[in-house]
Amino acid sequence: MVDPQIVPPLEVLAVGELLIDFISTEYADSLEDATNFKRLAGGSPANMAGNLARLGRAAGLVASVGKDDMGDYLLEFVKSLGLNTAGVHQVDLPSTLILITRSQGVSNFEPYRQADAQITTQQLPAEVLQAVRIFHTTCFALSREPARSAILTAAQMVKTFGGVVSLDANYAAKIWPDQTEAQQVVARYCAAGALVKFSDVDWERLYGSPLTDPAQAAVFLHGLGAQVVCITLGEKGCFVSRGAEQHVVPARPIEVKDTTGAGDAFWAGFLCAFLDDHDLKTCALAGRKLAEMKLQHFGPLPVQINKSDLYLDVE
């Protein structure tokens, strides 16, 4: 059990994958074409929480890594960002790694999973959850046990305590082959009144058909119980919805150096503005701003980012 006296109240607790990304140093359409790779700390919840910490938010991470050199590296890296890592455990399995192609569009990837799914309820004590404003996870994290049950139980506790739950629906069949099961778990998570982020690619992968009407997709997700829906549309920008309130925020032309982690940056910017009680459109604009910073930067964002920069573009 974690002593609540040593865990400060967290604005955001992200739960899920902390892993090694090996990203090709050259642009490649497939891993077969990639020959050289750069090692980076990765995992969507870790990226997102790290970006919030860079913005000065009180953020924590719950994850499992191996008792190996890569696990040591990952733990030290997230600590260096200022994240609360009381919930990051090292287990007797190799740290998870993913091979990824560097891309200006949608990256190709191949996962090698071990330690990441070994998240248990012991890492998510009630005295920590009751003080969390936003509890965030991903489809990747929900795709395997025991992490799935631990996360779903914790999300329900956060809702009961009055917090908000958040989901990045980063679904891929390589991660979660049982598509029907994935749809059911996403529906269960949405039912907790979640803030939900889909990309158009995530939607097609999870539901089996192209996303042709973001507004209709939002109606569906609201019907499952989601309170806020955000659908990112690549070069077309994003669509955000809170019931009757809807906005389209266009993308702006920029030089793209690396797309890996752009969605995590977007959601960190969005949640940062949400925590500051900004309106829905401003949240989306803040997300766009941080995503633009990431798209123009290869690898992780700089250690510190001025939060006020997110609100420079409010039109």
Q: Which domains, and CATH codes, for the chain?
A: 4-301 (3.40.1190.20)
Place of tokens 């990441």: 116
Q: What is the pLDDT of residues 11-62, one digit of tens each?
A: 999 999 999 999 898 888 888 888 899 999 999 999 999 999 999 999 999 9
Q: Which residues pair with 165 in a beta bridge?
A: 135
Q: Which residues pair with 42 in a beta bridge?
A: 19
What percent of the chain clears pLDDT 90, i.e. is strictly above it?
77
Residue 35: count of CB within 10 angstroms of its CB = 10
**Listed range (104-108, 200-204, 247-251, 294-298) with the worst mean pLDDT:** 104-108
The pLDDT of residue 2:
41
Least Cα distance to 85 among 70, 71, 68 occurs for 71
**Listed range (93-107, 148-162, 167-181) with the worst mean pLDDT:** 93-107
Least Cα distance to 263 among 239, 292, 304, 285 occurs for 292
Q: Is the pLDDT of residue 6 over 50?
A: no
pLDDT bin (cut points 50, 70, 90) of residue 255 is: confident
The pLDDT of residue 5:
40
The pLDDT of residue 4:
39
Q: Are 109 and 99 in contact (CB under 8 A)?
A: yes
Q: Which two tokens stand for residue 45?
A: 């919840």
Q: Are strands 19-27 and 37-42 parallel, antiparallel or unpaired?
A: antiparallel
Residue 117: partners with Cβ closer than 8 Å, 6 or more residues away: 64, 141, 143, 144, 145, 146, 147
Mean pLDDT of 150-177: 97
Chain mean pLDDT for the chain: 92
**Listed range (5-14, 74-83, 226-235) with the worst mean pLDDT:** 5-14
The pLDDT of residue 105:
65
Fill in the amino acid letter for 157. Answer: M
Q: Are strands 245-249 and 238-242 parallel, antiparallel or unpaired?
A: antiparallel
What is the spatial distance between Cα 96 and Cα 114, in angstroms, rounded to a whole number?
Answer: 5
Mean pLDDT of 156-167: 97
Q: Are 54 and 304 in contact (CB under 8 A)?
A: yes
Q: Are 33 and 156 in contact (CB under 8 A)?
A: no
What percent of the chain clears pLDDT 70, i.e. is strictly above it?
95
Q: Are 154 and 141 in contact (CB under 8 A)?
A: no
Mean pLDDT of 284-297: 90
The pLDDT of residue 3:
43
The pLDDT of residue 178:
98
Q: What is the pLDDT of residues 228-241, one digit of tens each?
A: 999 999 889 999 99
Q: Is the pLDDT of residue 103 over 90?
A: no
